[in-house]
Amino acid sequence: MPSLEDELFPSTPGKFKIDRNHTMNRQFHRCFASTSTMFLWALFLVALTASYLSFQSFVDSGSRYFTASWGGIQWEKQIRNSAQIRRSNGKSVLVTGAAGFVGTHVSLALKKRGDGVVGIDNFNNYYDPSLKKARKSLLNNHGIFIVEGDINDARLIARLFDIVAFTHVMHLAAQAGVRYAMENPHSYVHSNIAGLVTLLEACKSANPQPSVVWASSSSVYGLNEKVPFSESDRTDQPASLYAATKKAGEEITHTYNHIYGLSITGLRFFTVYGPWGRPDMAYFSFTRNILQGKPITVYRGKNRVDLARDFTYIDDIVKGCVGSLDTSGKSTGSGGKKRGPAPYRIFNLGNTSPVTVPTLVSILERHLKVKAKRNFVDMPGNGDVPFTHANISLAQRELGYKPTTDLATGLKKFVKWYLSYYGYNHGKAVN
């Protein structure tokens, strides 16, 4: 069996004599020199890579610095001015989703009565951002500053709490819509779960801790068939991912209340409608299509039963939101540590008078003075439920909540706004 030496140095008998010691030394030095060279090259490449990464990090940091939409002396001044309280015993409120439908109306109501209001919104393109920009202009005209940013940006949220000692947070930012979850499910987790946790982390670490009121949804009742829906009913059968994220939000907020002493109120909204509403909602898209002479799709449930919704006018929802802020009680934590029990509440905010979708269409026809082209279709399995109906007795008792606007009156106000906003004159768009 050949030795290791024989394997490395093959024999050539009869040609020349090998000085094996000399050869071994020479190969050793050559190998050592080669290894040293390789080591130096490797060291050089590591240094080059580290330099590149450091430079790239510097470029990225610089890019973020120069492209950031927030920060600076003027920016902080605008926030402080917007947060200024102008009534005795007033509140300083951070409103998330402030350029959204409900957020705009709540912000205006708070500002009108003298509370300090600072808004934040990411102006995403789930629906036409120009409508959100128009709402932003409306808020700016009333002295309300809107920060353009995402609630998942922990640094931004922390900075806002550094600038203003908010007494309350009205958390209305969310990825809305039931059907869109089938197209973009991750957006719901990003906004409705991760965003909520980021915000709660900032709230529990703030000193003093703010009281939190946030928008859950009537969708949490899911496949529940007991009517009207009550806060004590089971909510463990969501019919959509949207509903599941809102239910998760209720469990998450309960955790932060229990561990950190945050005062938290969850509001289950029932089909909110009205001026400055969301274009993806049925009443809004029906109005657009009716005016344009296009057919509208009216869904029906099993056995061709008409779908029904507990339509709730925006002004009534705002009353419930403001009432929740006024009765929220105080958080009890300090420095992220709970000092005692804090309020945890959930309320239904609805109109408690469900109306079928065909009836909704008939009311729109009357206000628009245009006949709709109805196309009846069986409800697909996309997360919608056949009916909603709110039991509001708890909100009436605890918040003094009392809806006053019926669907016919509310839709009349919406149509008036829609025709004005989109420039319609006698049923035709004005160019």
Q: Which residue type, as a one-letter code, is found at position 153?
A: D
Angle 370-373-376 (CA atoms, 0-180°, nearest 5)? 140
Alpha-carbon gap, residue 101 to 32, rounded angstroms: 74
Check residue 229 and report its DSSP letter. Answer: B
Q: Which residue type, as a one-letter code, is found at position 380?
A: P
Of 237, 253, 145, nearest to 195 by C-alpha is: 253
Decide if 422 is catalytic: no
The pairing of beta strand 145-148 with beta strand 116-121: parallel
Q: HSE on the CB side for 145, CA within 13 Å?
A: 17
Active-site residue identified among 242, 273, 283, 401? 242
Q: Which parts of 153-262 fold into alpha helices (H)?
A: 154-163, 185-188, 195-205, 241-260
- What are the strands, taking DSSP E only, across 129-220? 145-148, 168-171, 211-215
Pull the structure tokens for residue 26.
């020479």
Contact 198, 205 (CB under 8 A): no
3-state helix, strand, coil in the chain (%, to 5): 50, 15, 35
Dihedral sign for Cα atoms in the order 275, 307, 179, 221: positive
Q: Which residue type, as a one-letter code, is found at position 316?
A: D
For residue 408, with 0-12 CB atoms within 10 Å meaning exposed, 13-18 middle and 19 or more buried, which class applies?
middle
Dihedral sign for Cα atoms in the order 155, 265, 214, 136: negative
Helix and strand counts by DSSP (H, E) for the chain: 14, 15
Helix axes 154-163 and 195-205, enclosed angle (nearest 10) = 30
Q: Residue 308 belongs to what H/E stretch? A: strand 308-309
CB atoms within 10 A of CB 50: 10
Of 314, 302, 301, nearest to 356 by C-alpha is: 301
Catalytic annotation, residues: 242
